[in-house]
Amino acid sequence: MAAEKIRVLVAKPGLDGHDRGAKVVARALRDAGFEVIYTGIRQTPQMIAEAALQEDVDVVGLSILSGAHMTLCPKVVDLLRAQGQDDVLVVVGGIVPEADIVQLKAKGIAAVFGPGTSTQAIGDFIREHAR
């Protein structure tokens, strides 16, 4: 029997094109043994939710630096839940003020990883919390 792999979708919602961080995280998660589906920049929440469904991922990682996280990230969570993916873990990486982190968590984001987070910490969190 093949071992079950944890599948992670890495996406950049919205209009900022700074994908270096997303690529670094994608690579680090690959090295941690995850299957990473990388979708690239300028994704709408609808595109992200659709990809998460087709790929049946365990985790969605959103990379966002534009400041639009309060709009875009909860939208992804809502779409996932609406299509029946209640068990998908949603995590955010980027520049998010402390006050917003509290609100994002209230809206179903499992974790927010700010600047300076080690990639090891992200991998460990996913391994511990993915279904």
Binding residues for other proteins, rule: CB under 8 A, are 1-5, 7, 26-27, 29-40, 42-43, 46-47, 50-51, 53-56, 83-87, 131
Query: How near is the Cβ of 56 to other proteins at its closest, in Å?
Result: 4
Q: How far is the CB of 4 from other proteins (least distance, A)?
A: 5
Nearer to other proteins, 24 or 102 (CB): 24
Sequence-distant (6+) residues with CB within 8 A of 57 are 7, 8, 9, 37, 88
Distance CA(92)–CA(115), nearest Å, equals 11
Least Å distance, CB 42 to other proteins, is 8
CB under 8 Å to 130, separation ≥6 — which residues? Answer: 6, 58, 59, 89
